[in-house]
Amino acid sequence: MTFAIRMPWDEGPCAVMLVQRRDTGPRSAVTDLLWSSLALCAVLLGAVLFAAGPIVERVRSLTAQVRHSASVRYAAPVDERGRDEISELARAFNSAGSDVRANLEAVETRERTLRTFVENTSHDVMLPLTVLQGHLTALRRRVDAGQLPDKETVRSALEESHYLSSLLQNLSVAAKLEGGEPLMARHPVDLNALVERAVARQRPIAKQKNVQVEFAVPEDTIHLFGDMTFVEQMLSNVIHNAVRYNHEGGHVAVLLEERGAEHDEFALRVLDDGPGIPTELRERVVERSFRTDEARSRAPDGLGLGLSIAHDVARRHGLTMTMKESPAGGLEVEFTGRRARIPTGDGGARALGAGEAPSA
């Protein structure tokens, strides 16, 4: 590099001085700066990789766990240890996976229930329906021949139609119970009126079988908090069994009684003088599809749902169902529980009395 510098004097030697400089430094400085920058970048990149390595590994591990959980229908939760964002993401996934798993199980339960319902309906309805068709065909032939209908055939046809109705109702209730469907309502149920209705519905078939059905209820109305449809099906099933498996000229009694020192409890009893159930089998008859030899010989086409549904409905309503030999030698089925109580104006509570309606 060359510079011309004018001196302070205008004349004479050295008025203008020529200065030269051999410049070899900048190229070396640039090279040093470049290498320094590369070294700094390498250090920074190494620090980033060192810091991000565990995070990347956790993300990969979480990804693998999520895929595995999805492959097993979200039955295996992912690791959610830690307090950072990745742990929060894992917790959110486990929560969502739990909801998805619950929904999948509910759908599968309903599908199984539907398949079972269809299978049971097809199998158990076919035989009594075929028998009913045979009775109706026999009646038609007698009518076409100008003869009066045979009394025994009419009785059998009515019995089969009544059994079909009871079977379909029980299958519907069983599907709801097995599907996990909660009780649809919780309100005071008038047990006095319910007993009267259940007995009235069973009397036509009882009359055809020459079985007498009577009932007795207390003067004060007894209420139970629960679902009226299910409770009525519970009682109807027990009365239906007492009538269906009774002998010619038998008797069935339905008794609703107050119990407890303050009449705050009740007992609903169904007694008959039929063949009864052996002591060693009383616990098993409440199992779904279990039927005694006596029941199979009298009606081999049924599922044995009646007492099982009665036991299940009683349990869901907080009632205790017991079976023992009746005083007449048959079977006594008893449901015990507490009466429904409503709040009073003074902050207390009392049982609903006769003719009273529950407060809103």
Write down the pLDDT at residue 293: 40
Write down the residue that tokens 């009298």 correspond to.
298
Mean pLDDT calculated for residue range 139-143: 88
Mean pLDDT calculated for residue range 304-327: 86
Q: Which two tokens stand for residue 18?
A: 């020529």
DSSP state string for 267-321: EEEEEE-S----GGGTTTTTSTT---HHHHHH-TT----HHHHHHHHHHHTT-EE
Alpha-helical runs (H) found in 72-179: 85-144, 151-178
Would you say residue 303 has pLDDT above 70? no
Residue-level length of the chain: 360
Coil, helix or strand at residue 189: strand
Write down the pLDDT at residue 337: 93
CA distance to 25, 113, 142, per residue, from 172 (Å) = 98, 10, 36
Model confidence at 256, pLDDT cuts 50, 70, 90, reads: very high
Lowest-confidence pick of 86-95, 113-122, 196-205: 113-122
DSSP-based helix, strand, coil % in the chain, nearest 5: 55, 15, 30
Predicted confidence (pLDDT) per residue in 196-210, tens digit: 999 988 888 888 889
**According to the per-residue pLDDT averaged within each range, which of 18-27, 127-136, 139-148, 351-360 is highest?**
139-148
Model confidence at 114, pLDDT cuts 50, 70, 90, reads: low
Mean pLDDT calculated for residue range 298-307: 52
pTM for this entry: 0.55
Report the C-alpha gap between 69 and 196 in whole angstroms: 56
Mean pLDDT calculated for residue range 238-250: 90
